[in-house]
Chains A and B, each alone.
Chain A
Amino acid sequence: MITGVKLTVNCGKQSIFSYHYLSSHNTKCKMDPNIYQKLFEDGLVSQQSMDKVEQRLKNPLISVHWELKTLLYLGVLLLSTGLGILIYKNIDTIGHQAILTFIALISIGSFAWCFRKANPFARYKAISPGAVFDYVLLLGCLSMLSFLGYLQFQYEVFGTNYGLATLLPMLVLFYMAYRFDHLGVLGLAITNLGLWMGVTSDPYQLLTGNLGHINVIVTALALGLILLSAGYLSERYQFKSHFKFTYQHFGLNISFIALIAGYLIDHFPLIRLVWAVAIFVLGAILFRDAFKNKSFYFLILILLYLYAAVSIMVFPVLVNLDIVVCFMYFIISAVCMIVILTKLNKTLKDDAHL
Chain B
Amino acid sequence: MLIYNKLWLDNLLIRESAEESFARGDLSAPELAAVKNSFPCGFYSPNIFVRSGLLALTCIIAAFSGGLIGLMLYELSATFCFLILGIASYFALEKTVSSHHHYRSGVDDALLWISAGFFLATFTELTEDIFRTHIMLENFAYPFFALALSFYLTLRFADMLMAVVCYFALLIFLSVAWVEIIPWGTATLPFLIIVLSAIFYFALVKMISAEKLRYYRQCTELLRIISLFTFYLAGNVYVIEQFGNEILYVENRSNHELPLPYFFWAWTIILPFVYTAYAIKKKDQQLLRAGLVLLAAAALTVKNYCHVENIEVLLVFAGIALLAIAWFLIRHLKTPKNGFTYQELGDENSLGNNRLESLIISNIPGDTPQGSNSPFGGGNFGGGGSSGNF
**Is A31 an interface position by the 8 A CB rule?**
yes
Q: Which of B277-310 contact A (CB under 8 A)?
A: 282-286, 288-289, 292
Among A137, A181, A338, the one with the most B-chain Cβ atoms within 10 Å of its Cβ is A338
The residue of chain B having its C-beta at the shortest distance from the C-beta of A182 within the complex is B388
CB <8 Å contact, A17 and B323? no
**Is B243 an interface position by the 8 A CB rule?**
no
Q: Which of B323-356 contact A (CB under 8 A)?
A: 323, 325-327, 329-330, 333, 336, 339-346, 352, 356
The residue of chain B having its C-beta at the shortest distance from the C-beta of A4 within the complex is B6
CB <8 Å contact, A138 and B387? yes
Please name all residues of chain A whose beta carbon is closer than 8 Å to the beta carbon of B68 when the two chains form the complex. Answer: 324, 327-328, 331
CB <8 Å contact, B56 and A354? no
Q: In the complex the two chains form, what is the Cα distance from A353 to B136 in whole Å?
A: 54
Q: How far is the CB of B309 from chain A (nearest CB, A)?
A: 12
The residue of chain B having its C-beta at the shortest distance from the C-beta of A248 within the complex is B374
How extensive is the interface on chain A, given as a class?
Answer: 35 or more
**Is B315 an interface position by the 8 A CB rule?**
yes
**Is A246 an interface position by the 8 A CB rule?**
yes
Please name all residues of chain A whose beta carbon is closer than 8 Å to the beta carbon of B372 when the two chains form the complex. Answer: 292-294, 351
CB <8 Å contact, B374 and A337? no
**Is B380 an interface position by the 8 A CB rule?**
yes
Q: In the complex the two chains form, what is the Cα distance from A139 to B199 in whole Å?
A: 48
**Is A179 an interface position by the 8 A CB rule?**
no
CB <8 Å contact, B318 and A300? no
Encode contact with B along A334-347: 1 for CB under 8 Å, 0 otherwise.
11011001101100
- Contacts A296-B49, A304-B53, A328-B68; A190 near B16 (Cβ below 8 A): no
CB <8 Å contact, B26 and A56? yes
CB <8 Å contact, A64 and B288? yes
Encode contact with B along A180-191: 1 for CB under 8 Å, 0 otherwise.
011110111011
Identify the stretch in A66-74, A150-158, A210-218, A274-282 within 8 Å (CB) of chain B at 4 or more residues: A66-74
Encode contact with A along B1-32: 1 for CB under 8 Å, 0 otherwise.
00111111110011011101100111110010
CB-contact partner of A21 in B208, B315, B386, under 8 A: B208
CB <8 Å contact, A79 and B282? no
Encode contact with B along A31-61: 1 for CB under 8 Å, 0 otherwise.
1100110010010111001001100100111
Interface residues on chain B, number (Cβ under 8 Å): 113
Main secondary structure of the interface of A (DSSP, over half): helix
**Is B214 an interface position by the 8 A CB rule?**
yes
Q: In the complex the two chains form, what is the Cα distance from A131 to B327 in whole Å?
A: 12
CB-contact partner of B367 in A238, A250, A296, A338, under 8 A: A238
Q: How far is the CB of B26 from chain A (nearest CB, A)?
A: 4
**Is B312 an interface position by the 8 A CB rule?**
yes
CB <8 Å contact, A30 and B13? yes
Task: Identify the B interface with A (CB < 8 A).
Answer: 3-10, 13-14, 16-18, 20-21, 24-28, 31, 34-35, 38, 44, 46-47, 49-50, 52-54, 56-58, 60-61, 63-65, 67-68, 71, 98, 107, 205, 208-209, 211, 214, 217, 221, 282-286, 288-289, 292, 311-323, 325-327, 329-330, 333, 336, 339-346, 352, 356, 360, 363-364, 367, 371-389
- A and B contact pairs by CB, cutoff 8 A, 10 listed: A19-B217, A56-B21, A63-B343, A63-B345, A65-B343, A68-B329, A78-B316, A83-B312, A184-B383, A300-B52
Given contacts A64-B341, A65-B342, A75-B323, 12 further A-B contacts (CB under 8 A): A17-B13, A26-B283, A60-B339, A68-B333, A83-B312, A125-B360, A187-B380, A323-B71, A331-B65, A334-B60, A337-B53, A337-B57
